[in-house]
Structure 1
Amino acid sequence: MPDSREQGLTHPVTQTLPGLKPPRFQALRTIAALTLREMSSTYGRSPGGYVWAVLQPVAAIMVLALAFSLVLRAPSLGNSFILFYATGYLPFTLYGAMAGKLAAALRYSKPLLAYPRVTWIDAILSRLILNLLTNAMVLLIVIGGILWFTDARATLDPGPIMSGAGLAAAVGIGVGLMNCLLIGLYPLWGQVWAIVSRPLFLASGIFFIYEDMPSLVQDILWWNPILHAVGEMRRGFYATYEASYVSLSFGYGAAGMLTLFGLLFLRRYHKKVLEN
């Protein structure tokens, strides 16, 4: 029978064995696993999967284009109703997808957060990466299809297009992180936000351009960062459209502040969010 000294040495010795070393790139492996789980649960359970992610915005854009073409002779920019509404609808849905998915990130991954190797930031990053890539793919496919199959006349400038999409995503990330915190601490906030945010669909420039609005309305709408994202993206499709009201410093500044405060407070209160 081994003596007490031998028993005391058992634990330290096993810790030095090569097979018991912590895995390298542990955080990356965890994020990849969570991303694959999210992908399979979101797009793998229904027939068509990613096809519906493309068909849904296409259907919405076609309905908007058909409805407004019956009452208007031409869109505010260009000659294509479909392209005009696509350049407004797609950045808004990019914002909405990022905000909605990140707001529910901790609740969605709550069972897995009981494991010590899965952290709250892993759950957020996995959802962020998957939904950012998915919506970027949808945007490219839909816009490419419109330009290929319609007679839309557009002079593409990749800089403003990517900047507008990036701003929409950045605002969605900031709003999503703050809502993840607030809904986790105060569940009633989810219902309040659903009501408060409904006018954003009308106030983000999907159906109109900023310059067509009365000056009083312009002064109010200017504070909506999503409107700046839509204007920046449209500037990349319409060579004659200046969108002089767009302020990337304001848009990215607002998104950065929301993201910073969201991360700081989630770091402090994520355990309390998971307990509620």
Structure 2
Amino acid sequence: MAQLDMAIAKIRWKRRTINALLIRELMQRFGHGNIGFMWLVGEPLILTAGVMIAWSFIYGEENHGVKVIPLVLTGYSMLTVWRHMVARFTHSFRHNSGLLFHRTVRPIDILIARGVLECIGTLIAFFVAYVPLRLLEYITPIDDYLVLLTAWFLMCALTFGVALTISCLTELSDTLERFVQPIMYLLLPLTGAFYMVSWLPETARHIVLLSPMVHANEMFRGGFFGAEVPTYWDVSYLALWALATNAVGWSLVRKAQDHIEIE
């Protein structure tokens, strides 16, 4: 019983630590003004709105039978999580090494706080864009919230594992940092943000479905559109990739911690 009480106390203490880091991250990134927090939602919202307008001029109302506005809204929301989290995690350990003077703060706590912030902020931005578009009847109602939010959670888990791995590797080698952004751009076709798998020929379809990010995007759109639009995804495949990337990332944390120089 005493061990259980101790474990609960540690969990509560860890939760308070991460909450404090979340607030610190918000203040550091957006300042102390009242409008500061809104930029957490505003940044991805502006990007998504800009792309929706551009694509609407280029493709019109529909592309391959799928409405352009919800296609962009779903694709770029997922893409924003992917890009922002990887970018925010790179060199997070060394840039926040001063926090490690606090006994309760561990390097992984910093990344958890940043990951939670990105996931929640972008999801809020998605719904902030969705609600007025729905009220104006530019888009149809979400078909299945459970599928949509499960896809979001698994995408965030997958991205956290990949970003954690990259963060640890860039701590171990400065040279690897040079390859992060080029690789991120090269992987854009494998995110599934710009197309539906059903649009592709059979051979290309099998290739892109090797990417777990495509499964996440297709599942997210499956929850949004329902049976109205054909989607291809396997939740177990996506979950397995999320577990694998996190297993690799967490196994590298201790090695990366040994390379941190506390200033």
Is TM (by shorter chain) over 0.5?
Answer: yes
Contact kept, 8 Å, 1:228 with 1:248, in 2: the verdict is: yes
Structure 1 residues 151 and 125: CA distance shift in structure 2, 3 A: closer
Give unpaired runs (5+ residues) of structure 1.
1-21
DSSP-derived class of the 1:202 partner: helix
Aligned equivalent of 1:5? none
Q: After superposition, where does 1:103-114 map in structure 2 within 5 Å?
A: 103-114=90-101
Task: Determine the structure 2 residue equivalent to 1:75.
Answer: 63
CA-to-aligned-CA distance 1:65-114 (integer Å, 9 cap, x gap): 333333434233544x2221101110111222233323343133211113
Aligned residue pair count: 253
Q: Show the counterpart of 1:186.
A: 173
Residue 38 (str. 1) matches residue 25 (str. 2): yes
Quick check: 2:21–2:113 contact (8 Å CA) kept in 1? Answer: yes
Q: Is 1:29 aligned with 2:16?
A: yes
Contact in 2 for aligned 1:105/1:127 (Cα 8 Å): no
Identity over the aligned pairs, expressed in percent? 21
* 1:155 CA displacement: 4.5
Distance 1:267 1:209 in 2: 39
Instruction: Give 2:190's aligned amino acid.
Output: A
Q: How does 1:199-214 map to 2 (within 5 A)?
A: 199-214=186-201
Residue number among 182, 193, 197 corresponding to 1:195 in the alignment: 182
Please list, as runs of the form range in 1=range in 2, the aligned pairs for 1:157-236 lying within 5 A after superposition. 157-236=144-223
RMSD over equivalenced CA pairs, Å: 2.6
Distance 1:54 1:117 in 2: 29
| Counterpart Cα distance in 2 of 1:130 and 1:223 | 28
Name the SS for the 1:237 alignment partner. Answer: helix
Q: Contact conserved, 1:106 with 1:274, CA < 8 A, in 2?
A: no
Note the C-alpha offset of 1:64: 2.6
- Write the distance in 2 (CA, Å) between the matches of 1:100 and 1:235: 28
Query: Bigger CA drift: 136-145 or 34-43?
Result: 136-145
Q: Offset at 1:43?
A: 2.0
Distance 1:87 1:25 in 2: 35
C-alpha displacement of 1:204: 2.0
Q: Is the 8 A contact 2:171 2:256 kept in 1?
A: no
- CA deviations 1:125-161 (Å, max 9, x no partner) are 2222322222222222222232123432245210111
| Structure 1 residue 221, shift from structure 2 partner | 1.4
State the partner residue of 1:64.
51
Q: Please say if residues 231 and 246 of structure 1, whose CA atoms lie closer than 8 Å, have aligned partners that are also in contact.
A: yes
Secondary structure of the residue aligned to 2:224 is: coil
Which one has the largest radius of gyration? 1
Mean alpha-carbon deviation: is it higher for 233-242 or for 69-78?
69-78
Q: Which residue identity lines up with residue 252 of structure 1 in the other structure?
A: A
CA contact (8 A) 1:229 1:251 kept: yes
CA contact (8 A) 1:181 1:273 kept: no
Taking the aligned partners of 1:146 and 1:163, their CA distance within structure 2 comes to 22
Whole-angstrom distance in 2 between the partners of 1:196 and 1:271? 26
Bigger helix fraction: 2
Q: Which runs of at least 4 in structure 1 moved beyond 4 Å after TM superposition?
A: 22-25, 273-276
Q: Is the 8 A contact 1:92 1:226 kept in 2?
A: no
- If the length of structure 2 is used for normalisation, what is the TM-score? 0.84
Are the structure 2 counterparts of residues 68 and 121 from structure 1 closer, same or farther at C-alpha, using a change threshold of 3 Å?
A: closer
8 Å Cα contact 1:184-1:274 kept in structure 2: no
CA 1:35–1:55 in structure 2 vs 1: closer, same or farther (change >3 Å)? closer
8 Å CA contact 1:31–1:125 kept in 2: the answer is: yes
Measure the CA separation in 2 of the matches of 1:33 and 1:62.
Answer: 32
SS of alignment partner, residue 79 of structure 2:
helix
1:109–1:248 CA distance, 2 compared to 1 (3 A):
same
Structure 2: segments with no counterpart, 5+ residues:
1-8
- Kindly indicate whether the alpha-carbon contact (under 8 Å) linking 2:75 and 2:217 is maintained by their aligned counterparts in 1: yes
